[in-house]
Amino acid sequence: MKRSIIITGGAGFIGSHVVRLFVNKYPEYKIINLDKLTYAGNLANLRDIEDRPNYRFVKMDICDFEGVLKLMQEEHVDGIIHLAAESHVDRSIKDPFTFAQTNVMGTLSLLQAAKAYWEPMGWQMQHCAVPCRFYHISTDEVYGALEMTHPEGIEPPFTTKASSGKHHLAYGEKFFTEDLKYQPHSPYSAAKASSDHFVRAFHDTFGMPTIVTNCSNNYGPYQFPEKLIPLFINNIRHRKPLPVYGKGENVRDWLYVEDHARAIDVIFHQGKIAETYNIGGFNEWKNIDIIKVLINTVDRLLGRPEGADMDLITYVTDRAGHDLRYAIDSSKLQRELGWEPSLQFEEGIEKTVRWYLDNQAWMDNVTSGDYQKYYEDMYKNR
């Protein structure tokens, strides 16, 4: 094999799309999917590529330093794409210890294993023509929150232009850029911020070839249905309440997951060592507006009168420390590596809703928890 790459969290939402892309696009690479198979990991996400000769799944906790090091030695690993993380903010508020263990100590375990294996070889494997690479995927939430500002009295959203020259609708004049100071507000974002610092420290201290990216909210197929878009699609389908935090005024920048996977591919192969790249969709939406789009789309595709399920919206007490606005400026990535989103939100959300409506068996298997019992039985004697 030309390269041997570990992708952590490869059975999860974003990770499964990255694994699929790399397995299909690079048959000369060995792709090792390392996943603990927590509630968010589901190998059904990868049924279409599980028998490929260049793919291997390994059930392992990233906190298992000895296990990771042994796997790297066995497979002659020259690249790590690190996506494994606890990522749900509500869960982090209830259980911050788990988030610190996985997101911080898990990342440190991977870094230590990579250092132990790569450093004696001068950070380059004999079989590989390029240096080893540790690519850490993070979140825009580490930057904190942005204000809802507007120029000359114009109420948002308004048309603005990013530094790349790309026009888009925005709810403020400021955006997250790579040089912003970190200001995490939740246990989840604090744990991710800490892991980012460890990755950069391993470059600065030991010379490890690292890259960090911070991405906006992802949406698309195979997302665990505790997240807003798949949860609400399923609830609308079954006419269940749609719980909206506060007034639904919080703004997020949304990116179709396959566009994120393409960005990861480009950055892993062409990104500069020790650089940070922000990945975003130039696509800001208030939560309440997304919910209304989802209702209209689901109703239309199910043959109901459009908007018939608006009465499912139920306003609930806002989440503690709920950041008002996130907005990524990914101009650096566009300018230096030529990447940009391929889908407009309206097209992406149509594809996403259709996928969940067409894959109710997958949704039922996840929401019932049956998939977890299946994997527990499969691996309990191994």
DSSP 124-137: --TT-SS--EEEEE
> Looking at 61, 78, 86, 141, which residue is catalytic?
141
Contacts of 381 (CB under 8 A, 6+ apart): none
Q: Are 129 and 220 in contact (CB under 8 A)?
A: no
> Looking at 135, 188, 219, 277, which residue is catalytic?
188
> Looking at 35, 61, 78, 140, which residue is catalytic?
140
Partners of residue 214 on adjacent β-strands = 138, 278
The burial of 379, by beta-carbon neighbours within 10 Å (0-12 exposed, 13-18 middle, 19 or more buried), is given as: exposed
The burial of 127, by beta-carbon neighbours within 10 Å (0-12 exposed, 13-18 middle, 19 or more buried), is given as: exposed
In the residue annotation, 141 being an active-site residue is answered as: yes
In the residue annotation, 188 being an active-site residue is answered as: yes
The burial of 147, by beta-carbon neighbours within 10 Å (0-12 exposed, 13-18 middle, 19 or more buried), is given as: exposed
Q: Are 310 and 251 in contact (CB under 8 A)?
A: no
Helix (H) or strand (E) holding 82: strand 79-82
- The catalytic residues are 140-141, 188
